[in-house]
Amino acid sequence: MAEANENELFVPWSISTSVPITLAVIWVLLYYLYIRHCPKPIPGNIPYNKSSANRILGDTPEIKQYQKTGDFRRFFRDHNAKLNTPISQVFMFPYSKPFILITDFREGYDILSRRHREFDRSKRNADIFGTIVPNFHLAMQTQDPRFKGNKELVRDLMTPTFLNEATVHIYDIATVLVDMWAYKSTQAAGRPFPAYEDLHCVALDIILAAAFGIPLEQSATHKQFEFLQLQPPIIRSSKSKDDPVIYSQIPLSESLMALIKVTGTVVVGYKSPFPRLHHWILKNTIWRKDFAQKEAFITDQINKSVERLTSENTQESRMRCAMDMMLLREIGYAKKEGRKPNINAPRMRDELFGYVATGHDTSSTTLSWITKFLTDNESSQAKLRHQLHSAFAEAHAEKRQPTVMEIIEKPAPFLDAFLEECLRLAKTLPTILREALTDVTILGHSVPKGTGIIIYNHGPGGQLESGFDIPESARSDTSQDSKHRVGEWNTDDISCFRPERWLQRMTGVQYDGERDAEFEGANYNANSGPFLTFGGGPRGCFGKKLAYMELRIVLAMLVWNFEFQPCPAELSSYEGIDMATVVPKQCYVRLKQLL
């Protein structure tokens, strides 16, 4: 009995001690699991946000806050600015390796142009574009066995022959835009009106004409102009000249809307931690119809091209677009290899759509930013117009439009400088992704193989801000060797719109202030200062030449025909909206016709 009582006395004590011990063990285990699942910074002393390293989500909560403002890419600029460093670690997604973020131009340029054997396109890049065009060369790393064949397939698309054909399409569509805006400006009677939708359609028409040879009368811009002339403008108030005029928009065809929607789905790739899975679910549910319509559109265009190329009519059978060139190259390969041409091969289809998707969004967004820079920089706009009148003197004297050949062939250094300054400041796509192919050193820091690299060219040390003092010894040999290849911007006006920074006057030529001699001896210098808008090196922007031609022609035609007058402050915000590109939140024009 005494023994029983003794056991009873010890039982409560045993329970009371085992519970805290168990809870402590559980807490230690949970803490261990938590720490184990937190981001693992790269060993060494590459700066990072210490609080982010101690939470499973890493930098994601802060990035989400930036997403709410509509400009999540701004996070990259602020991240390095807060850490006071040109290189840092970013914990973008849970359970993923940290990315290395670089905002220093020289280091970014070195990685892209001089060290391309050590760095390649990022797998993240493949995840983003691979969701909509898995067989597009932009979604492949260089060592991908498909890459070389795809590049061979599209190699004709930036040749002078093709570009000359494309310029005719660009000029024709730009002419319709000029006519439509002349009509709108007359109707608006000095009031501003939205410009983004028109520029969006113009860029779409240009890339569809270049890709598929779609004729002008079938373009969205042409149809919109015809529709516009049958619709009255909507004026919200007749009291103020600052109140914008709203014009009705004709809906795009279902197939064109599908192209735009499918292109827009790459946003999932940018923002999701699991882009391929996330996109696959949406593609097979709410986006199923759009993807089917996109495929049907491409099939229809390929069939039309084959019919045209095999026509006995010599005028009809001539090459007129990117698709024609690609099909003829495939037919040539098939004949050489003794096989039947595979005109509907996945790589053919994806290269065609990739060409459209990447060419449309970037160009339409850039044109929108250019329009804003024109509106808000009157003196530079007037100087540009004077340059055009001087360069295209014959057209100016005859009071006619400059021809497409005059625009692309006549030297106009200030036109080049103005365009380059717009591209320097535009927010269109300020990030470039790369991946280390081997263990590398960046600014004196060891970075392991497989690490993703984010080059943000609008941050400290980039195109728009002065950088940090970096010892030359911390830079690579290739960076040191090319130190003077590209100039440096004046820190006093680096964030200002000043096209003159791109011009150099020839030795011995003095400008005496006379307006007629304003451009005498002035040469455009593409290496005047930091500029990575089109990337660099062998994996730089594939469509760069076409983009420059498109922007040059459209810009010249608009400035030739209109004076862009200031819009009210409430319509002139420079805030961006994160889509596939960073689109201006507001894009209005107030035009005065000149011709």
The 8-class DSSP code of residue 55 comes to S
Tens-place pLDDT, residues 383-405: 999 999 999 999 999 999 999 99
Binding site for heme, by residue number, is 541
Q: What is the pLDDT of residue 10?
A: 44
Local confidence band at 514 (pLDDT 50, 70, 90 cut-offs): low
Contact predicate 234/248, CB 8 Å = yes
pLDDT at 26 over 80: no
Q: Decide: helix, strand or coil at residue 309.
A: helix
Residue 86 lies in a domain: yes
My answer on whether 87 and 164 are in the same domain is no
Rounded CA gap, 343 and 320, in Å? 17
Contact predicate 474/158, CB 8 Å = no
**Which is higher by pLDDT, 102 or 131?**
102
Q: What is the pLDDT of residue 2?
A: 45
Residue 341 lies in a domain: yes
Residue 233 lies in a domain: yes
Q: What is the pLDDT of residue 270?
A: 79
Q: What is the pLDDT of residue 16?
A: 59
Q: Which two tokens stand for residue 577?
A: 């909206």
My answer on whether 456 and 520 are in the same domain is no
Q: State what percent of residues in the chain have pLDDT above 70.
A: 91
My answer on whether 360 and 405 are in the same domain is yes
Query: 285, 282, 289: which is closest to 258 by C-alpha?
Result: 289
Tens-place pLDDT, residues 254-278: 999 999 999 999 888 777 888 888 9
Binding site, by residue number, is 541
What sign for the dihedral angle of Cα 548, 550, 554, 557? positive
Tens-place pLDDT, residues 157-214: 888 989 998 999 999 999 999 999 999 999 999 999 999 999 999 999 999 999 999 9
- Phi/psi of residue 377, each to 5°? -135, 75
Length of the chain: 595
Tens-place pLDDT, residues 416-474: 999 999 999 999 999 999 999 999 999 999 999 999 999 999 999 989 999 899 999 99
My answer on whether 423 and 444 are in the same domain is no
pLDDT at 306 over 80: yes
Environment class of residue 466 by beta-carbon count within 10 Å: exposed (0-12), middle (13-18) or buried (19+)? Answer: middle
Please give the C-alpha separations between residue 467 and each of 422, 456, 530, in angstroms, as whole numbers.
21, 13, 11
Q: What is the pLDDT of residue 470?
A: 94
Q: What's the whole-number average pLDDT of the chain?
A: 90
My answer on whether 294 and 390 are in the same domain is yes
Q: What is the pLDDT of residue 292?
A: 96
- How many CB atoms sit inside 10 A of residue 454's CB? 23
Please give the C-alpha separations between residue 155 and each of 129, 502, 550, in angstroms, as whole numbers.
20, 30, 19
Rounded CA gap, 271 and 57, in Å? 14
My answer on whether 98 and 167 are in the same domain is no
My answer on whether 130 and 179 are in the same domain is no
Tens-place pLDDT, residues 340-376: 999 999 999 999 999 999 999 999 999 999 999 999 9
Query: 212, 216, 217: which is closest to 308 by C-alpha?
Result: 212
Rounded CA gap, 80 and 86, in Å? 6
- How many CB atoms sit inside 10 A of residue 81's CB? 14
Q: Which domain CATH number covers 463? A: 3.30.43.20
Average pLDDT of span 237-265: 90
Q: State what percent of residues in the chain have pLDDT above 90.
A: 70
Alpha helices in 220-253 (DSSP H): 220-228
Environment class of residue 42 by beta-carbon count within 10 Å: exposed (0-12), middle (13-18) or buried (19+)? Answer: middle
Residue 505 lies in a domain: no
- Phi/psi of residue 327, each to 5°? -65, -45
Q: Tell me what percent of the chain is helix, strand and coil, each rounded to the nearest 5.
A: 55, 10, 35
Average pLDDT of span 25-41: 68
Average pLDDT of span 88-106: 92
Domain of 102, in residue numbers: 50-139+430-485
Rounded CA gap, 377 and 375, in Å? 6
My answer on whether 378 and 458 are in the same domain is no
Residue 80 lies in a domain: yes
Tens-place pLDDT, residues 549-589: 999 999 999 999 999 999 999 999 999 988 889 999 999 99
Q: What is the pLDDT of residue 495?
A: 94
My answer on whether 96 and 109 are in the same domain is yes
Residue 349 lies in a domain: yes
Based on the structure, what is the number of domains in the chain?
2
Q: What is the pLDDT of residue 4?
A: 46
Q: Decide: helix, strand or coil at residue 183.
A: helix
Rounded CA gap, 359 and 356, in Å? 5
Local confidence band at 238 (pLDDT 50, 70, 90 cut-offs): low
pLDDT at 515 over 90: no
My answer on whether 309 and 422 are in the same domain is yes
Highest mean pLDDT among 7-11, 125-129, 422-426, 483-487: 422-426
My answer on whether 173 and 130 are in the same domain is no
My answer on whether 170 and 296 are in the same domain is yes
pLDDT at 35 over 90: no
Residue 276 lies in a domain: yes
Contact predicate 511/517, CB 8 Å = yes
Q: Which two tokens stand for residue 56?
A: 């499973």
Average pLDDT of span 527-539: 92
Please give the C-alpha separations between residue 287 and each of 132, 206, 260, 477, in angstroms, as whole numbers.
11, 25, 12, 49
Q: Which of 310-324, 346-360, 471-485 has the lowest mean pLDDT?
A: 310-324
Residue 10 lies in a domain: no
Average pLDDT of span 85-107: 93
Q: What is the pLDDT of residue 563?
A: 98
Which amino acid is it at 101? L
Q: Which domain CATH number covers 319? A: 1.10.630.10
Environment class of residue 419 by beta-carbon count within 10 Å: exposed (0-12), middle (13-18) or buried (19+)? Answer: buried
